[in-house]
Amino acid sequence: MELVIRDARVVDGGGAPAYRADVGIEDGRIATIVREGEPRPGGRRVLEADGLVLSPGFVDMHAHSDLALLRDPDHSAKAAQGVTLEVVGQDGLSYAPVDDRTLDEVRGAITGWNGGGPGDTSLDFDWRTVGEYLDRIDRQGTAVNAAYLVPQGTVRMLAVGWEDRPATAGELRRMRELVAEGLEQGAVGMSSGLTYTPGMYASDAELTELCRTVAAYGGYYCPHHRSYGAGALEAYEEMVGLAREAGCALHLAHATMNFGVNEGRAPELLALLDRALDGGADITLDTYPYTPGCTTLVAMLPSWASEGGPEATLARLRDPSTAARVRHVMEVEGADGCHGVPIDWDTIEISGVTRPELAGYVGHTVARSARERGEAPFDTAVRLLVEDRLGPTILQHVGHEENVRRIMRHRVHTGGSDGILQGDKPHPRAHGTFPHYLGHYVRELGVLSLEECVAHLTSRPAARLRLPDRGLVRPGYRADLVLFDPDTVAAGSTFDRPRTPPVGIPHVLVDGRPVVEDGRRTDVLAGRSVRRTPLR
């Protein structure tokens, strides 16, 4: 045996009670599990667990590490949390499939999520297709495994452009071809960002046709739906109906109920989902265990202000009369980019900028910065957007703790960090989601039992991804494993110190190889792309 993990408290990911055992690993897989009291296996290397919990590695169902995986393969932000697989290509905007034109456009549009703006030369964008992007991960290696969703907004960018109009029959046919190609090349499904341009310009009929293609390949649809604020329940219902019409599995991204209009309304969402599940729908969801959200400042604009792409957006913001219209929609009517709710600038905290000379805004709300400068908050926001070329990221403090707790208890819940790693002061969820679940919500609050929580973070997402050999501690399964101390595990990251590493997670293995050892990141790059399991 290459490695024996001795005297571990095995929480196997299936929800069963923990038990003591030695676990043997050979050729990157779990070879044997010997329970307490049986003859112990020998190994060329022995790792003494001394009663630490041994569980499957955690699966981050909603990650924004698309470029971080390549720019910084060390990827300690996720490896240190016990994450061994993350799903990228989220919210309908990512970097494949693209051509030269759309690559530049998408780099500009989501530089706040991932860096890598058009002027950034730190990374060679040497791929154009989904398969080439996944091949790049395989050639380079990284700390953790990665799966990919075909981004519907990027697909629409390729076939239609940035215009707010229905797709022609030919354009829809091209989009279906692009989605099919991405799935054939290994993507596990398709994502949408229906409050982000240009994906939000798609009608339900268009999305349904694309989802039929996803269903034909056994993938799943992962929408950031049209509203998490005013009209949130209607937006969830829209996605459930769309997936039912298409016969497609549905995974609801960062399934929160935010803003004052939704305080205490999580039971209504869960009842909606239960009715659909009881009727045979295939639905899962993910959440992060925090109340604030995180996105880009430009995402708060009304969708018409972003039609045509980043340069057109900047031109509108520079025009005083158009900017005045934007301000009225945002502050009085409630922009679709802000989920139909009039924006409260006191809830919008700048978490990152791309230009160093603007760093003084980071950590302050737009309202506070405006007061310090003696100007209207909207004017401060516009200056930031123009001077940083749409680069600022934000924290949006609009969530409700009781909604967070209720949703994480649901029978189809999984964990997703929605972690944006950019910015001087990113959301702590990027570095803390999984230990925060285990330390705060399991040990301190008892919202979930340890066995339940581990199942939420391991076997449930593996089942959604249709991975037959991941997500459980079982013989024959991949040795993607984490050892943690249930008495001390905790997120070190906070809103003040968001990059502080977690505690209580001394060992993480990917493919049986140690990527974290004694609490320190090794130089092992065992992570590779995890591609769609073909239908049989």
Write out pLDDT tens, residues 140-196: 999 999 999 999 999 999 999 999 999 999 999 999 999 999 999 999 999 999 999
**Mean pLDDT (whole number) for 419-423:** 92
Task: Annotate 411-434 with DSSP letters as a single string.
Answer: TTEEE---B---SSS--THHHHHH
pLDDT at 320 over 80: yes
pLDDT computed for residue 42 by the predictor: 87
Supply φ then ψ for residue 120, to 5 degrees: -85, 120
Supply φ then ψ for residue 490, to 5 degrees: -165, 155
Q: What sign results for the dihedral spanned by CA atoms 317, 319, 320, 322?
A: negative
**Mean pLDDT (whole number) for 62-86:** 97
pLDDT computed for residue 71 by the predictor: 94
**Mean pLDDT (whole number) for 65-76:** 95
CA atoms within 13 A on the CB side of 470: 30
Nearest to 207 by CA among 188, 227, 224, 231: 224
Q: What percent of the chain has pLDDT above 70?
A: 100
Q: How confident is the model at residue 536 (pLDDT cuts 50, 70, 90)?
A: low
Strands in 145-151's sheet, in edge-to-edge order, are 58-60, 83-88, 145-151, 189-193, 220-224, 249-252, 283-287, 413-415
Q: In whole angstroms, what is the distance from residue 389 CA to residue 355 CA?
A: 9
Tokens for 325?
């219209």
pTM: 0.96
Q: What percent of the chain has pLDDT above 90?
A: 95
CA atoms within 13 A on the CB side of 360: 7
**Cβ-contact 341, 136 below 8 angstroms:** no
**Which pLDDT tens digit goes with each residue over 452-499?**
999 999 999 999 999 999 999 999 999 999 999 999 999 999 999 999
**Cβ-contact 309, 368 below 8 angstroms:** no
**Maximum separation of any 2 CA atoms in the chain, in Å:** 79
For strand 481-484 and strand 53-56, is the pairing parallel, antiparallel, or unpaired?
Answer: antiparallel
Q: How confident is the model at residue 427 (pLDDT cuts 50, 70, 90)?
A: very high
| Residue corresponding to tokens 């452009």 | 161
**Cβ-contact 391, 314 below 8 angstroms:** no
pLDDT at 37 over 90: no
DSSP state of 126: -
Instruction: Kindly report the average pLDDT of the chain as a whole number.
Output: 96
pLDDT computed for residue 533 by the predictor: 87
